[in-house]
Structure 1
Amino acid sequence: MKILSVARALLPGRADYALLPVSWRVDLLAGMTVGIVALPLALAFGVSSGAGAASGLITAVVAGLVAAVFGGSHVQVSGPTGAMVVVLAPIIAAHGPGALAAVTVLAGVIVLIAGVLKLGRVVSFIPWPVIEGFTVGIAVIIFLQQIPAAFASNAGRSTNAAVFALQALGGVDWGAAVPALALVGVVVAVMVAAPRIHPRIPASLVAIVVAGIIAEVFSLPVARIGALPGSLPTPLLPVLDPGTVTALAGPAATIAALAAIESLLSARVAASISDTGPYDADRELLGQGLASIASGFFGGMPATGAIARTAVNIRSGGRTRLAALTHALVLLAVVYLATTVVSRIPLAALAGVLMVTATRMVSLPALRAVIGSTRADTVVFFTTAVITVSFDLIEAVEIGIAVSAFFALRSLVRSSGVHREEIPGPAREGDEHIAVFRLDGALFFAAAERVLDRVNEISNVDVVIIRMSQLQILDATGARVITEMVQALERRGITVLIKGVQDRHLRLVTKVGVIDSLRHHKHLFTDLARAVEHARSHVNRPGPRPGIGTGG
């Protein structure tokens, strides 16, 4: 029964289309708008990845349809994205285009399994500075990857984006570069000007059309997309023999991690800016996994949720999955009806579109906010961005999270501590031989030794009262340190009283031995006044100091 319940939660249902009777018209319009916006991006991402324009278009159609039906967001639009291009390009360069289908399917299977195992909420643990640094790094890489097409230069040999761009610039033939750069300039000008004329103008598509017309009218000697298939290819199961799986397991895991992170981030953003209800993170992973598997069968690329296209869908009024389905059908119509025209699009025009897209990925208000927040967040942001550009996307996220965790741990350690307090109320004779210590914040493995050293420094004291009521976090190491502290003080003849153990910590301190380390079971108090009264009875007890006895 539990399996059936999980299956029902992850699979499509009637609730997915509850708003359809009142929103279908605006959903259709939103879907057509997104389809128009997605066309040049799908082509450009396919070319930039090395898989080809046809692969990008197929991904947008097939993955867009499957993710719309099975995904966990009502308004998410899926397809090829810039971040995926950044990961996929070096994989195709290293393993060849023939590995595309296999690595796409393998990555899809990994993402699907993550959804079934209900790992969708993991993305919520990624800190905001890491996300911003990751986004900026991807934007820089996408921009640098367009340098060869923009300058009509041979691509560099390096897999590092910065070196790749420099190598391409080193081999520029300015006679060939001028027409290509002119088209890039036209595209940039149109994409900047169009939204100012009217915000609903599909700027990237208009820019591509204008650049294409100029290239045809003036017979510019620039590279074109080239022939595209006039229909979807026949689906084929990729070769997944043990050797192939072994060779591609690492790249597939990288792609899967990126697909999961980007899709869930996009779905989370979509839920925050739309009023169509929350998204299901686990179902989103299931849908994206199925989308990549289907895309791989048709020769497409791995798919993810696309933040920009999803935002266009929401701004256009999309409220149900019909909008995302319509977007995919619009692109399917292009495959069957307009491939001859599309094949004549200059590659330089696509490069211009991606350069503007990359620039717009960087939000200046978000940058100012994260850089102006704290020094730790600034370090995390720049660390993630630099590693993304210089090394690897997934490593950048992992290191960014690790650096964030370090700063969070350091902050937690600084917030914890032990403070000696004055005994409340009027002073009495002998009070100078009583020490009251308050444990604050967090007492865990990173802060425990500091507390132990602080308490062990005391001298000329008969009784120590340890207040634990303000202790917010306690782990086994912290509890063990309290035990060692009590034992060390008792060996010196100093009576230890503990006050205010919280109920949530009681089981831990009992298991670790804090209670048993006390000289007497009556040395555990819930009220400070009674603890002080008991301490005074020890101090005023006749006999040599320091006070040594059986307690009580």
Structure 2
Amino acid sequence: LGLPTRTLGDMAHIAGGLPQLALPAVPWNLETLKIIVPYAVLMAMVGLLETLLTLNLTDEITESRGYPDRECVALGAANMVSGLCGGMGGCAMIGQTVINLSSNGRGRLSGVVAGLMILLFVLFLSPLIERIPLAALVGVMFVVAQQTFAWASLRVLHKVPVSDVLAIIAVTVVTVFTDLAVAVLFGIVIAAVNFAWQHARELYADSHEDGEGGKHYQVHGTLFFASTTPFLNQFDPANDPAKVILDCQHLSFVDYSAIAALKTLRERYAKAGKHLRVVHLSERCKKLLKRAGEQH
């Protein structure tokens, strides 16, 4: 029909040569560093996150165990060398890895062959690559996206908690409209808020009166900023006897909010003319109280 077909060569030329040492021709001062650091941190975060996600996916598919620390160190060293040679930063790619694994590539030889073929494309076969129609590349990307997406996660959405479903949907949407680094940070915030909410609801106290006219409270859970109100609601200073013992054997203090809550509880009992004694504090709790200037 005579319709024009755009090819890869219409967008960019991939022909190149062997790498050479190429230090950046920029002023080596603080102003340059201020410009570079934000982008460097963002690229490092995205590279590390995608590499770790790829490693996790590879471990699941191959039923093996990878070494994240080695992968991260190797990735950082390779990117530093690449930068000194005028190259761009890179990381492990989920799409290429899935295609490699689906083609039964399991050993190091598959990665070596992939690297050598890319080198041949850049040095000698670039004219052939530049003749590939963009429509074909679009089809390839759709296939990669279809193979990469964890479709099994959709079948378990009705089996997991609502908070996890919201986190999955939110991270997916944020990834589409922003980038992977922002999406992961967003997911971490959601998970942290959900974790705090769940732990705050799990705090409870058992109480009983002893034969000497006192009352014992044994609190179970984690005391932090989100659980201070449920913690204080476990006690009744107005109706409790004159001597109250708080057993912290199963209570963990996390932050300064926990210290402030304990101080508030003591003040409430003191205002009611009663004495609160705290026992079985862990060494970590004692250090927190000592640092805050509280006596236990």
Alignment counterpart, residue 421 of structure 1, candidates 202, 207, 211: 207
Task: Please give the secondary structure, in 1, of the residue aligned with 2:216.
Answer: strand
Q: Is the 8 A contact 2:208 2:217 kept in 1?
A: no
- Name the CA distance, whole Å, in 2 between partners of 1:391 and 1:494: 57
- Name the CA distance, whole Å, in 1 between partners of 2:217 and 2:128: 79
Letter in 2 for 1:232: G
Q: Is the 8 A contact 1:483 1:513 kept in 2?
A: no
Equivalent residues in 2 for 1:445-524 (5 A)? Answer: 445-459=225-239, 461-509=241-289, 512=292, 515-516=295-296
Alignment counterpart, residue 256 of structure 1, candidates 35, 41, 44: 44
Residues 233-284 of structure 1 show CA distances to partners (whole Å, capped at 9, x for unaligned) of 5534443336765545433332221111111222233345447753142x42
Task: Please give the secondary structure, in 2, of the residue aligned with 1:302.
Answer: coil
The structure with more helix, counted as a fraction of residues: 1
Residues 338-383 of structure 1 show CA distances to partners (whole Å, capped at 9, x for unaligned) of 3333222111111111122223332121233356411111222222
- Name the CA distance, whole Å, in 1 between partners of 2:268 and 2:150: 56
Q: Is the 8 A contact 1:380 1:403 kept in 2?
A: yes
Equivalent residues in 2 for 1:216-365 (5 A)? Answer: 221-226=4-9, 228=13, 231-232=16-17, 235=20, 236-241=22-27, 246-274=34-62, 278-281=66-69, 283-296=70-83, 300-314=87-101, 316-320=104-108, 322-365=109-152
Does 2:195 match 1:408?
yes
Match of 2:167 in 1: 380
Task: Please give the secondary structure, in 2, of the residue aligned with 1:304.
Answer: coil
- Name the CA distance, whole Å, in 2 between partners of 1:467 and 1:506: 14
Deviation, 1:221, is: 2.6
Distance 1:237 1:370, change over 3 A: farther
Does 2:225 match 1:440?
no
Letter in 1 for 2:53: L
Distance 1:497 1:230, change over 3 A: closer
Distance 1:244 1:493, change over 3 A: closer
* Mean CA deviation greater in 326-335 or 404-413: 326-335
Task: Please give the secondary structure, in 2, of the residue aligned with 1:221.
Answer: coil
- Name the CA distance, whole Å, in 2 between partners of 1:229 and 1:309: 19
Residues 191-219 of structure 1 show CA distances to partners (whole Å, capped at 9, x for unaligned) of xxxxxxxxxxxxxxxxxxxxxxxxxxxx7
Give unmatched runs, 5+ long, in structure 2: none
Q: Highest Rg: 1 or 2?
A: 1
Deviation, 1:416, is: 1.6
Q: Is the 8 A contact 1:480 1:512 kept in 2?
A: no
Give unmatched runs, 5+ long, in structure 1: 1-178, 180-218, 517-552
Distance 1:510 1:249, change over 3 A: closer
Q: Is the 8 A contact 2:14 2:130 kept in 1?
A: no
Distance 1:348 1:501, change over 3 A: same
TM-score, structure 1 length as denominator? 0.46
Q: Is the 8 A contact 2:199 2:222 kept in 1?
A: yes
Residues 462-498 of structure 1 show CA distances to partners (whole Å, capped at 9, x for unaligned) of 2212121221444443234324423442453323343
Identity, % of aligned positions: 24
TM-score, structure 2 length as denominator? 0.79
Task: Please give the secondary structure, in 1, of the residue aligned with 2:156.
Answer: helix
Q: Is the 8 A contact 2:42 2:181 kept in 1?
A: yes
- Name the CA distance, whole Å, in 2 between partners of 1:277 and 1:254: 28
Residues 139-160 of structure 1 show CA distances to partners (whole Å, capped at 9, x for unaligned) of xxxxxxxxxxxxxxxxxxxxxx
Match of 1:53 in 2: none
- Name the CA distance, whole Å, in 2 between partners of 1:249 and 1:498: 49
Alpha-carbon RMSD: 3.3
- Name the CA distance, whole Å, in 2 between partners of 1:296 and 1:503: 48
- Name the CA distance, whole Å, in 2 between partners of 1:484 and 1:476: 12
Distance 1:474 1:348, change over 3 A: closer
Distance 1:276 1:449, change over 3 A: closer
- Name the CA distance, whole Å, in 2 between partners of 1:333 and 1:512: 65
Distance 1:346 1:244, change over 3 A: farther
Q: Is the 8 A contact 1:385 1:396 kept in 2?
A: yes
Distance 1:228 1:389, change over 3 A: closer
> What is the total number of aligned residue pairs between the two structures?
290
- Whose RCO is larger (CA < 8 A, sep 6+)? 1
Q: Is the 8 A contact 1:438 1:470 kept in 2?
A: yes
Q: Is the 8 A contact 2:215 2:240 kept in 1?
A: no
- Name the CA distance, whole Å, in 2 between partners of 1:366 and 1:357: 17
Q: Is the 8 A contact 2:94 2:148 kept in 1?
A: no
